[in-house]
Amino acid sequence: MVDSLASLVLYRLLFGHAPVTTETIEQAVNTLLAGIANDFDALQSRADAEADHQNVHRAAVR
């Protein structure tokens, strides 16, 4: 699993044809997890809910 993620970054760094962006990494992680997680949809929903909660908390602190 780690090799799959590292290979993306290494390939981009070696050949330099495109930058490694947050979106690229997020897509790679989502694709990898969708292939190995039994409950990927629930995992994604939980991650989205946590991100929403953090955004609300940050807005309240400001």
pLDDT tens readout for residues 3-41: 877 887 788 778 877 777 888 888 888 888 888 878 878
DSSP string across 48-60:
HHHHHHHHHHHHH
**Angle ∠(2,54,50) on CA atoms, nearest 5:** 55
pLDDT band at 61 (very low <50, low <70, confident <90, very high): low
Task: Print the domain residue range for 57.
Answer: 2-61
* Residue pLDDT, tens place only, 39-60: 878 878 888 888 887 777 677 7
Q: Which residue has the tokens 């390939």?
A: 11
Domain total for the chain? Answer: 1
- Whether 62 has a pLDDT exceeding 70, the answer reads no
- Whether 2 has a pLDDT exceeding 80, the answer reads no
